[in-house]
């Protein structure tokens, strides 16, 4: 397997021990390239494939772009920003070569407080018109407050202007409206707390967030409207909520990119 061929970096995430290949490891990059090429040969431009996600080694939670590991330990293992960025860029180039007809999406969080790796990738692929950026932390509060989300918000907005941006809300509205709460903002967002929320919080968190996602309103005192996201990845709890289904299905129908390239089932 891939991990048996690469140099591993041990880390702990959410209390669980884990390992990952070093992002710049030559064996890992070769195995990654072979996988991407095989997937591209089989699935590029598949009618059921709206887009694909970029992934790389330094990700501590699935496809998400965050890498919440100890920077000092990673540096001791050989990390430098230049080495890291070069490895990530080589992976993106592999994706672009293997999937010339399929949009490629990158989920963004700052890594070690830096966003230069994402700036490098965005600059590499933006002219294609097929590179988009995603926020799996999508929520109005985190565009204004968050150590690894605020730094990438300008890039998300650049993608919204030039290609497309994807929103996966930070939580679901049906069972977690409180995840959209931030009482410390200049204009607080209040949708209850984990131990005290109700149906009104569900409705308000959904309505306010969807207005923000679609670029028609702001709720926390921002000076201007955001550019709209082109697509939303919806939590299953909300898809099953009859009170939200119709609005979710039609929310972004007016966006031509959404209508052409993305479908909400």
User: 0.75 cut: is pTM over it?
Assistant: yes
Domain ranges of the chain: 2-261
Burial category of 198 from C-beta neighbours within 10 Å (exposed 0-12, middle 13-18, buried 19 and up): exposed
For residue range 136-155, list pLDDT tens digits in order: 999 999 999 999 999 999 99
User: How many whole angstroms separate alpha carbon 150 and alpha carbon 190?
Assistant: 20
Distances (CA, A) of 207 to 18, 38, 217: 38, 42, 10
For residue range 55-104, list pLDDT tens digits in order: 999 998 888 999 999 999 999 999 999 999 999 999 999 999 999 999 99
Gyration radius (Cα) of the chain, Å: 19
């Amino acid at each position: 397997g891939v991990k048996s061929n690469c140099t591993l970096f041990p880390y702990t995430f959410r209390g669980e021990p884990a390992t990952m290949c070093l992002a710049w490891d030559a064996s890992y990059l070769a195995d990654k390239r072979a996988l991407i090429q095989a997937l591209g040969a089989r699935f590029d431009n598949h009618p059921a494939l709206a887009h694909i996600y970029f992934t790389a080694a330094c990700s501590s939670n699935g496809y998400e772009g965050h890498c919440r590991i100890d920077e000092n330990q990673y540096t001791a293992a050989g990390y430098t920003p230049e080495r890291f960025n070069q490895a990530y860029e080589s992976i993106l180039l592999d994706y672009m070569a293997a999937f010339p007809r399929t949009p490629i999406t990158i989920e963004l969080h700052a890594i070690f407080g830096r966003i230069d790796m994402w700036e490098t990738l965005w600059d590499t692929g933006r002219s294609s018109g097929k590179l988009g950026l995603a926020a799996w932390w999508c929520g109005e509060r985190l565009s204004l407050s968050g150590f690894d989300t605020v730094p990438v918000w300008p890039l998300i907005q650049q993608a919204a202007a030039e290609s497309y941006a994807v929103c996966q809300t930070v939580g679901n509205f049906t069972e977690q409206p409180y995840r959209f709460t931030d009482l410390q903002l200049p204009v607080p967002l209040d949708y209850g707390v984990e131990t005290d929320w109700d149906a009104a919080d569900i409705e308000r968190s959904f309505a306010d967030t969807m207005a923000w996602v679609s670029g028609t309103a702001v709720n926390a005192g921002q000076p201007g409207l955001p550019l709209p996201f082109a697509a939303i990845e919806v939590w299953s709890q909300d898809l099953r909520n009859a009170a939200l289904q119709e609005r979710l299905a039609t929310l972004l129908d007016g966006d031509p990119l959404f209508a052409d390239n993305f479908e909400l089932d």
